[in-house]
A and B are shown apart, each in its own frame.
Chain A
Amino acid sequence: RKEVEQDPGPFNVPEGATVAFNCTYSNSASQSFFWYRQDCRKEPKLLMSVYSSGNEDGRFTAQLNRASQYISLLIRDSKLSDSATYLCVAHRIISNFGNEKLTFGTGTRLTIIP
């Protein structure tokens, strides 16, 4: 089983709709989580960080459920410019020396349809 799993999609959503992605992680030692956005042939760009139960930034809301080990991303009033791949990322410390590991999901592809 992959350490971070996402539905690869694609999700094709009409402009203005609300869309939600889920991401599950298998290692309960994961402490912080991130959503990155990646446009085609570009680098990942940080969208949101999630440390406690959730985070909200404008039209974007991330929720963390540690008991069930999943993170969700909700996009409200979707825009054409939201079309991208959304990467779910789990971060954990793997040694007493502070060595860390960042594990990416395969990404969920979103297309907003005019």
Chain B
Amino acid sequence: DTGVSQNPRHKITKRGQNVTFRCDPISEHNRLYWYRQTLGQGPEFLTYFQNEAQLEKSRLLSDRFSAERPKGSFSTLEIQRTEQGDSAMYLCASSLGLVIEGTETQYFGPGTRLLVL
């Protein structure tokens, strides 16, 4: 399967614990995005990378959230000191990200569903 993959698919944790999610984008894609989605809402942008550089961060991304893409391939999203309000689906997407129409199309992974108890 050459699509976007995410691990784990589900995570249950207790409030106050740290969690880390991983995303492996489509191999030739330069850009990688993280979104959060709660029930009844569309995905909300968190942050994105062009290769290893983090270009944009949403105000939704509090200082408890950090994302990395150290070698410009896979990315990790870490949430420290989780709160119940962090419970959501965390989606990763990737795109070619060239300055050519059509390459901005984002393809999503299956998501990591987080439940904070």
Residues of A within 8 A of B (CB): 4, 8, 32, 34, 41-46, 49, 51, 87, 91, 94, 97-107
A87 and B45 alpha carbons, distance in the complex (Å): 14
The answer, among A4, A97, A102, A106, for a CB contact under 8 Å with B106, is A102
Top-7 shortest CB links A-B: A104-B42, A43-B108, A106-B42, A104-B43, A44-B108, A43-B110, A43-B111
Q: Please count the residue pairs between chain A and chain B whose beta carbons lie under 8 angstroms apart in the complex.
A: 52
Please tell me the size bucket of the interface on B: 20 to 34
- Of chain B, the residue at the smallest CB distance from A98 is B99
Q: Please state if A32 and B104 are interface contacts (CB–CB under 8 Å).
A: yes
Residues of A contacting B108 in the complex (Cβ-Cβ under 8 angstroms):
43-45
Q: Is the interface of B mostly helix, strand, loop or mixed?
A: loop
Min CB gap A101→B, angstroms: 7
Task: Say how far A91's CB is from chain B's closest CB, in angstroms.
Answer: 6
| Bound Cα distance from A34 to B95, whole angstroms | 14
CA distance A46 to B113 in the complex (A): 20
Is B104 within 8 A of A44, CB to CB?
no
Q: Which residue of A lies closest to B111 (CB)?
A: A43
